[in-house]
Amino acid sequence: MNIESNQILGKWTEYTLSNDLGMRVSVLDFGGIITKIMVPDRNGNIENVVLGYRNYQDYQTNPNYFGALIGRVAGRIQGASFNLNDKTYTLAKNNGDNHLHGGPDGLHQIVWDVSPFQTDEEVGLTLTHRSADRDSGYPGNVEIKVTYTLTNHNQLILDYAAKSDQTTPLTLTNHAYFNLSGNLKTTIHDHHVTIDSSRFVELDPNLIPTGKLLDVEGTTFDFRGGRVLGNGFNNNFEQNKIADSGYDHYFIFDHAEAYQATLQDPVSGRVMLVTTNEPGVVMYTSNGLADGLPLAEGTSRKYLGVCFETQASPASLHHDGFPTVILNAGEPYQKQTVFTFRLEN
């Protein structure tokens, strides 16, 4: 187990966590951004399985949120406003008339305080930040702690903890784009996904939840038995068409299986298992990723990565029947998501 740190652009620090099996995870204090996850394929080749910029200065704007911590509220908030306890709160608009991923000054844009730690079996980073009352329009002073832990079982554990002095919306996530081919050798068309979910959230043409939950049965959104992502990269189903011929939808977990989601690449043999105590996940298949951005191992293009944004649903601010994002004053917020990397048998 090992931790290394390097100065980046004279203003940030990148930490690299290494375990005894050769897995490495690199994280910036800026935005809590995961810049690289290095894991072996079936032939022992250790390669990067997340998208990241070639030039670190591109993380300053990072419109694609590569690898970043997202909050206070992950996802879109309709109309950039919400009502809470008979009061209306107005947020920054950064996605048309809507508020996306905590706004332009969200948690992806701050430099976190970082404390590394190490034991015989794990190595990690504790990131802390105090988000002040009315940051980006949200009520409450919120103390936030996010812990990245790398184990000797090739697990990357993300623990999210927070407490607010006022009742406020809060749902945190990480926005890493995964591509298990390694070093971006291919798109994710042939990546095989399972999701333990029988219901997903219907979106309108602006990617805002309509308030309806749809049954996955008989659709390209039924991942309960597993399917390749390319099945949904089309306009044959209206909800795929709305998401620019892909997926950008919230799936509510049934929590009936050991893993809430799995991702497999048949060529490399890499498998990623996702376990979480979150109520659901936004799966985003980089449908809006522009061509030609200089990435660490090539150039960007559509369908180059898939995000598993484990979280509650911001639709709960405007509709009943969705997993709530409301954190009551003084109540502890404790969420965990674990990404376990293995090889196919």
Q: List the catalytic residues.
A: 175, 309
Q: Show the CA angle centred on residue 79, arms to residues 77 and 81, nearest 5°.
A: 70
Give the residue ranges of DSSP H helices in the chain: 238-242
Residue 341 Ramachandran class (φ > 0 left, ψ -120 to 50 alpha, else beta):
beta
> Distances from the Cα of 53 to the Cαs of 154, 186, 299, in angstroms?
24, 17, 9
- Amino acid making up residue 92: A
* CB-based burial, 287-296: b 16+ in 10 Å, e otherwise: bebeeebebb
* CB-based burial, 56-68: b 16+ in 10 Å, e otherwise: bebbeebebbbbb
Q: How far apart are CA 119 and CA 1, in angstroms?
A: 8
**Number of residues in the chain:** 345
1's tokens: 């187990």
